[in-house]
């Protein structure tokens, strides 16, 4: 690894909240976790790296302990217990290193969302050593399936034709809600759970024009995507597909999809409306917050800013002591992601927003995004504050609305139910998580 490149990238990330992600997907994690000496060496190398380059902790991306993943992945039935031992060793060395420099280091993991993946982990004991768990609640369906299906459904759809047998229970449990509830049932406190949000979509081709393409047979050959076949950045979808494709919304699963019967291409993705439902879910269930895969897919920051506004509700992130940390070292400049607060059980705490990068404690201004004249964008304009009295004023981009403010839009009056600063595509008809019809 090029040290200069790492140092440069670290400086490009917000100065506080950088996590070193140890990510081989799965290939050799099993070998390392199975041997005490290897665990100690691995932990020591992580400590040296984060201290050399100013990171604030370690995130492990061991996605397939025990089973699954690519053919060359190494698995053991003992991976469940060995994973806990690996985390215990890393936590111990992080705490020891932190005591010496007066800093509290973070330890997190990125983990699978399927019922079969949950069963392969000792989540209750893993959580004892972790600050939070990033659930990768996306990729539930894709090009590996025979039929079209949602990439990241919030809930199951009763019409889904997927198999519903052990250990996966795809039809009933391959969705965000069942993933979160599976972790909680396994013994993980809700305040240690971070829901993954997808800033991309997955597409299929050769889809016949029945049920608007949903749950239909699809070609094994994937259509051209943004960077790889069958996968589309949210920005790319807005520019190239939304203008000509028909948008549908699955009210059972609370996610949208696009379909063009003339091309036979069907695309599952997330938008402000589905993010609104997911962010509301995070708040209602008092989860730690949200993370994204991945930031560059939303270069206009539309979905990222929406999540920030809905989950933070104007609250500035605070600091907290990670799990298992010594009470001796004081927290240094470590600003935590959205939701890392000293009182995680309150629904108004701010929320984490990513696996490995963290915003500064205050985000008082928003970037201005260049616009493509032919495409709807998330351009953020200068903000003004809405008046709370008088008749309902027309909804307007750039105005900051508080809970209870009323606006008029397309002949109807709407009441703000979550504070927000209006973006181009956040009109009341499009984002019900922000607005409620009055009359």
CATH number of the domain that residue 388 is part of: 2.10.10.20
Asked if 254 contacts 153 with a C-beta cutoff of 8 angstroms, the reply is yes
**Quick one: pLDDT band at residue 400, thresholds 50, 70, 90?**
confident
193 and 335, same domain (yes or no): yes
Question: Would you say residue 27 has pLDDT above 60?
Answer: yes
312 and 186, same domain (yes or no): yes
Asked if 109 contacts 60 with a C-beta cutoff of 8 angstroms, the reply is yes
The whole-number pLDDT of residue 17 equals 54
Q: Summarize pLDDT for 205-223 with one digit per residue, the tens.
A: 999 999 999 999 999 999 9
Asked if 227 contacts 127 with a C-beta cutoff of 8 angstroms, the reply is no
Asked if 433 contacts 279 with a C-beta cutoff of 8 angstroms, the reply is yes
> Helix, strand, or coil here: 276?
helix
The token pair at 369 is 């995004």
Dihedral sign from CA coordinates of 294, 223, 149, 121: negative
Asked if 98 contacts 329 with a C-beta cutoff of 8 angstroms, the reply is yes
280 and 407, same domain (yes or no): no
Q: Tell me which H or E stretch contains 409.
A: strand 406-409
d(CA 176, CA 360): 28
The whole-number pLDDT of residue 353 equals 41
For the beta carbon of residue 252, count every other beta carbon within 10 angstroms.
15
Question: Is residue 9 a part of any domain in this protein?
Answer: yes
Question: Is residue 189 a part of any domain in this protein?
Answer: yes
43 and 185, same domain (yes or no): yes
326 and 411, same domain (yes or no): no
The whole-number pLDDT of residue 361 equals 32
Q: Summarize pLDDT for 323-352 with one digit per residue, the tens.
A: 443 333 333 333 334 443 333 332 333 334
Overall number of domains in the chain: 2
**Quick one: pLDDT band at residue 354, thresholds 50, 70, 90?**
very low
353 and 389, same domain (yes or no): no
User: Which residue do the tokens 């990125």 mark?
Assistant: 110
354 and 410, same domain (yes or no): no
Domain extent for 135 = 1-140+175-197+272-364
408 and 313, same domain (yes or no): no
> Helix, strand, or coil here: 103?
coil
The whole-number pLDDT of residue 18 equals 60
42 and 12, same domain (yes or no): yes
Question: Is residue 346 a part of any domain in this protein?
Answer: yes
Question: Is residue 401 a part of any domain in this protein?
Answer: yes
Question: Would you say residue 180 has pLDDT above 70?
Answer: yes
The whole-number pLDDT of residue 398 equals 81
> Helix, strand, or coil here: 233?
strand
Asked if 202 contacts 151 with a C-beta cutoff of 8 angstroms, the reply is yes
- Quote the DSSP letter at residue 225: -
Q: State yes or no: is 63 an active-site residue.
A: yes
Phi/psi at 193 (5° precision): -110, 130
Question: Is residue 399 a part of any domain in this protein?
Answer: yes
112 and 12, same domain (yes or no): yes
On average, the pLDDT of the chain sits at 81
The whole-number pLDDT of residue 176 equals 98
Give the residue with greater pLDDT, 228 vs 434.
228
Q: Which of 63, 89, 191, 302 is catalytic?
A: 63
The whole-number pLDDT of residue 358 equals 33
84 and 49, same domain (yes or no): yes
> Helix, strand, or coil here: 159?
coil
The whole-number pLDDT of residue 15 equals 34
Give the lowest-confidence range in 133-137, 265-269, 312-316, 378-382: 378-382
């Amino acid at each position: 690894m090029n040290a200069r490149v790492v140092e440069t990238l670290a400086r490009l990330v917000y100065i506080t909240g950088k996590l070193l992600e140890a990510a081989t997907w799965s290939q050799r994690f099993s070998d390392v976790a199975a041997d005490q000496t290897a665990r100690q060496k691995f932990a020591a190398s992580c400590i040296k790296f984060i201290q050399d380059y100013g990171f604030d902790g370690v995130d492990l991306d061991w996605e397939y302990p025990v089973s699954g993943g690519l053919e060359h992945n190494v698995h053991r039935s003992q991976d469940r217990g060995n994973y806990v031992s690996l985390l215990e060793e890393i936590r111990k060395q992080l705490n020891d290193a932190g005591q010496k420099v007066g800093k509290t280091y973070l330890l997190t993991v990125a983990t699978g969302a399927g019922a079969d993946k949950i069963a392969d982990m000792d989540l209750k004991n893993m959580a004892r050593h972790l600050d939070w768990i990033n659930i990768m609640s996306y990729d539930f369906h894709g090009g590996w399936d025979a039929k079209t299906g949602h990439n990241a459904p919030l809930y199951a759809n009763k019409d889904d034709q997927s198999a519903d047998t052990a250990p996966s229970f795809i039809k009933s449990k391959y969705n965000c809600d069942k993933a979160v509830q599976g972790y909680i049932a396994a013994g993980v406190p809700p305040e240690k759970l971070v829901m993954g949000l997808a800033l991309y979509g997955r597409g299929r081709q050769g889809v016949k024009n029945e049920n608007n393409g949903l749950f239909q047979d699809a070609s094994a050959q994937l259509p051209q995507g943004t960077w790889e076949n069958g996968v589309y950045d949210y920005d790319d979808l807005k520019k190239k597909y939304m203008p000509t494709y028909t948008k549908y919304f699955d009210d059972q699963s609370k996610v949208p999809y696009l379909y063009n019967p003339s091309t036979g291409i069907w695309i599952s993705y997330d938008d402000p409306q589905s993010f609104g439902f997911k962010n509301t879910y995070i708040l209602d269930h008092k989860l730690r917050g949200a993370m994204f895969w991945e930031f560059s897919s939303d270069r206009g920051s539309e979905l990222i800013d929406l999540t920030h506004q809905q989950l933070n509700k104007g609250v500035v992130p605070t600091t907290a002591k990670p799990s298992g940390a010594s009470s001796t070292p004081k927290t240094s400049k470590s600003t935590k992601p959205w939701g890392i607060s000293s009182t995680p059980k309150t629904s108004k705490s701010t929320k984490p927003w990513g696996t490995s990068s963290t915003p500064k404690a205050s985000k008082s201004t928003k970037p201005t995004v260049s616009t493509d004249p032919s495409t709807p964008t998330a351009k953020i304009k200068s903000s003004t504050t809405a008046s709370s009295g008088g008749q309902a004023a027309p909804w307007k981009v750039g105005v900051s609305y508080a809970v209870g403010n009323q606006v008029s839009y397309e002949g109807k009056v709407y009441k703000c139910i979550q504070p927000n600063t209006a973006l181009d595509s956040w009109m009341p008809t499009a984002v019900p998580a922000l607005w409620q019809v009055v009359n």
